Amino acid sequence: MSEQLKVPTMAEMMAEGKQPEILFWVGSAGSYDDRAKKITKAFVKILNKANVNFAVLGTEESNTGDVAKRAGNEFLFQMQAVMNIEVLNAYEIKRIVTCDPHSFNCIKNEYPGLGGNYDVIHHTQYIQELMSAGRLTVEGNTYKGKRITFHDPCYLGRGNGVYDAPRDVLKKTNATLIEMKRHKGTALCCGAGGAQMFKDAEPGNKEINVLRTEDAIETQPEIIATGCPYCNTMMTDGVKFKEKEGDIKVMDIAELIANA
């Protein structure tokens, strides 16, 4: 990305006595993973374009503890949660947006019980909101008529019932949206959830991400759209495994909209 991104931190905002309309929770993947960082930047590009007054926690952000919780380490999860809640509450954060459905689910559903109450939304919901408020429009025709299939992230779809926002946003690009056989409530997991991202799979006859990529390939897509950094990695690997990287791109919805 050539143009300079404006990424104010909460600390800077605080120093200037300002409060952002929304906090962008970047998440660990979005901060450190090379592929996910591109999604983060694409989303910031959208925020900048729509003139959203947002901020990030920057170095004050820490892992949500979500993955530790799913791995069974409730101690570590609650330690992380309590630390993050302390920071968020100190900044009087009301609204949070994130590109990671795992952070989204964790902060939205599991932080309130530990004293962290925020209005948390997924970035596809926020993009939809910006569009319907007229703050963001898709002008270009980059994706007009392109065949796109959307892979539902478990913690966005089944986990929280958000199925329409990502699809509505995709439709705005005038792309042809094709559903996989398993979608929405019956969508197959990419294989990364429940801490699987960080370990080898148990013995079996196939990798889950390969099976899911096969679901996607059946729709003969030009682009597999994702809404989760982990899904993105898994589907990208699946496409490579199937030697289809020449024909099929795996892109986050934020990237699709930022490039449209």
Name residues contacting another protein, limited to 49-68 (CB under 8 A).
56, 58-59, 61-63, 65, 67-68
Residue 40's closest CA among 260, 178, 229, 191? 229
Residues 143-172 that bind another protein (CB under 8 A): 154-155, 158-161
Distance CA 153, CA 102 (A): 9
Task: Say whether residue 131 binds another protein (CB under 8 A).
Answer: no
Residue 82 within binding range of another protein, rule CB under 8 A: yes
* CB distance 28 to 99 below 8 Å: no
234 CB-near residues (< 8 Å, 6+ apart): 190, 191, 192, 197, 208, 209, 212
Nearer to another protein (CB atom), residue 116 or residue 221:
116
d(CA 174, CA 156): 23
**Helix, strand, coil % over all residues of the chain, rounded to 5:** 45, 10, 40
Single out the residue of 49, 70, 94, 147 in contact with another protein (rule: CB under 8 A).
70
Specify the 3-state DSSP secondary structure of 137.
Answer: coil
In the region spanning residues 199 to 218, those forming contacts with another protein, defined by CB under 8 A, are 199-208, 211-212
What is the smallest separation between the CB atom of 9 and another protein, expressed in angstroms? 7
Q: Choose between 159 and 244: whose C-beta lies nearer to another protein.
A: 159
Does residue 2 interact with another protein by CB under 8 A?
no
Euclidean distance between CA atoms 163 and 183, whole angstroms: 9
Binding site for another protein (CB under 8 A): 5, 7, 9, 26, 28, 30-33, 37, 40-41, 44, 56, 58-59, 61-63, 65, 67-76, 78-80, 82, 105, 108-110, 113-114, 154-155, 158-161, 185-186, 188-189, 191-208, 211-212
